[in-house]
Amino acid sequence: AQSVTQLDSHVSVSEGTPVLLRCNYSSSYSPSLFWYVQHPNKGLQLLLKYTSAATLVKGINGFEAEFKKSETSFHLTKPSAHMSDAAEYFCVVSNTNAGKSTFGDGTTLTVKP
Amino acid sequence: SQTIHQWPATLVQPVGSPLSLECTVEGTSNPNLYWYRQAAGRGLQLLFYSVGIGQISSEVPQNLSASRPQDRQFILSSKKLLLSDSGFYLCAWSRGLARDTQYFGPGTRLTVL
């Protein structure tokens, strides 16, 4: 069994300030974890993924996430928000169970000028 | 490089009418294919996935069906649409299952009136 919880449905930051989007997961097996971004009326784009290599994962557009097994967390961060970062972000957990990826409900990031 | 297409981009249909949404992938062979639905303000719900021609797994019982008549073609259908079928439909592909990155199409916005 697996599940993912995105702890904030909405996050608002000012341009140039840090971004933190929180994600907790549960998985019966060693998980793979992903963050995707979705701009309005668009498909999803992969930001980064963790697959049991380095626990600190760097992605596109300056985003990174840290896998913390003890806390079952995979929070997404960025040091300085840009207006173009405003979007919906999804945390996803997958394991070896064929075809099973579980998406979180999403976090809407708003960036204020 | 690989690309994924979905059409139509938008669709408005009356209740009780049939539905056919198409997804095609270029630049890869034997992909795993997925249909997701995203209701307004919600996360993604996996509807169907396919590991090969004619092989369809259904995740959620409903009035929708899926078919894979060719290796890189995935079709979502309904004989009679319900109001609750409204949403944003996303097709995705991956090389493997579960732990592999999924690549999403641009989506189809379906409104059932």
Strands B10-13 and B108-112: parallel
Question: What is the SS3 assignment for A84?
Answer: helix
Whether the pLDDT of residue A88 is over 90: the answer is: yes
Question: A89-100 burial, b for 16+ CB within 10 Å, e for fewer?
Answer: bbbbbbbeeebb
Q: Which residue, among B3, B58, B10, B64, has the nearest Cα to B34 in the 3D structure?
A: B58
Nearest-5° Cα angle at B73, B70 to B79: 100
Task: Please give the single-letter amino acid code of residue B75.
Answer: I
CA B13 to chain centre: 17
- Other C-beta atoms lying within 10 Å of the C-beta of residue B95: 14
Cβ of residue B58 closer than 8 Å to a chain A Cβ: no
Tell me which residue in A32, A90, A95 faces B44 most closely, judged by beta carbons.
A90
Whether the pLDDT of residue A98 is over 60: the answer is: no
Q: Which of B101, B108, B109 to mutate to test the interface with A (most CBs of A within 10 A)?
A: B101
- Other C-beta atoms lying within 10 Å of the C-beta of residue B9: 10
Contact between A18 and A31 under an 8 Å Cβ cutoff? The reply is: no
d(CA A102, nearest CA chain B) in Å: 8
CB distance A44–B90 less than 8 Å? yes
For B:21-50, CB contacts with A below 8 A are: 32, 42-44, 46, 49
Question: pLDDT class for A30, splitting at 50, 70, 90?
Answer: confident
Helices and strands, number each (H, E), in chain B: 0, 11
The whole-number pLDDT of residue B61 equals: 66
Question: What is the SS3 assignment for B80?
Answer: coil
Q: Which residue, among A61, A67, A91, A52, has the nearest Cα to A79 in the 3D structure?
A: A61
Strands B64-70 and B73-78: antiparallel
pLDDT one digit per residue (tens) for chain B, 113 residues:
889 999 999 999 999 999 999 999 999 999 999 999 998 767 888 899 999 999 998 888 678 999 999 999 999 999 999 999 999 999 999 987 667 889 999 999 999 99
Phi then psi dihedrals of residue B106, to 5 deg: -75, -15
Cβ of residue A105 closer than 8 Å to a chain B Cβ: yes
Which tokens hold the place of A11?
A: 């996050």
The whole-number pLDDT of residue A54 equals: 85
- First and final CA of chain B: distance in angstroms? 38
Contact between B35 and B89 under an 8 Å Cβ cutoff? The reply is: yes
Question: pLDDT class for A49, splitting at 50, 70, 90?
Answer: very high
| CA A33/CA B102 separation, integer angstroms | 12
The whole-number pLDDT of residue A95 equals: 74
Cβ of residue B8 closer than 8 Å to a chain A Cβ: no
Tell me which residue in A41, A45, A97 faces B98 most closely, judged by beta carbons.
A97
